[in-house]
Amino acid sequence: MITSAANGVLVDLFVPQAQDYTVVMDASGTALSCYLMWNDLKENHNKFYVSQVLRHTPTGSHSLWTRYGRVGVDGIGKAQPLGSLELCTKQYAKTRREKTRKGYTEVKMALGKPKEEEETNEEKKGEET
C-alpha cells in the first residue's frame, strides 16, 4: 500500500496521483512521514494514522497528507494545502506529537525481507553449492 517516490522515501499509495509527489525531508535529512498505530484490545481499538509532508513535483507546492482508520481498511485520506512548507511542517509535528501523547506508537515501514531472513537465505544458497 505504499510506493517509492523519486527520492527513495515512501509515499502513501492512497495519495491521488502519488507518482507526482515526494516526501519532504527536514534539515537533518529525516523524512517528514510517519505511520502510527494504536491498539487497545480491551476496547477493541486497532487504528492507524499516516501523516506526510508532500511536495507536488510539477508545481513545487506543499501539502500535509493524512490518512486514518481501522487496521484492515483503506481508511480516510485527505490532503491539506496549508499554503507553505513551514505551515505544513508545523502541523505535521503538532499532529504527530498529539497522536503519540494519546497512545499511538510509530511503526517503521520497510520493503523487502527482514535482514535476518536474507542472511539465512544466503547461507542456504552457499550450502547448496
pLDDT in tens, 14-35: 999 999 999 999 988 889 999 9
pLDDT score recorded for residue 42: 83
Give the CATH number of the domain where residue 7 resides: 2.20.140.10
Q: What is the pLDDT of residue 34?
A: 93
Asked if 62 contacts 88 with a C-beta cutoff of 8 angstroms, the reply is: yes
If the chain, 129 residues long, is cut into consecutive pieces of 10 residues, what is the mean pLDDT of each piece? 56 92 90 91 87 94 96 94 94 96 85 57 58
Tally of domains within the chain: 1
Q: Is the pTM of this model over 0.85?
A: no
pLDDT at position 2: 41
64 contact partners, CB below 8 Å, separation of at least 6: 51, 52, 53, 54, 79, 80, 82, 88, 91, 92, 95
Is 48 within 8 Å of 68 (Cβ atoms)?
yes
What is the amino acid identity at position 62? H
Residue 121: what pLDDT? Answer: 54
- The pLDDT of residue 82 is 92
Output the pLDDT for position 32.
94
Residue 50 belongs to domain spanning: 2-128
C-alpha cell of 102?
494519546
pLDDT of 48 reads 95
Q: Quick check: 54 and 15 in contact, CB under 8 A?
A: yes
pLDDT of residue 129: 54
pLDDT value of residue 43: 80
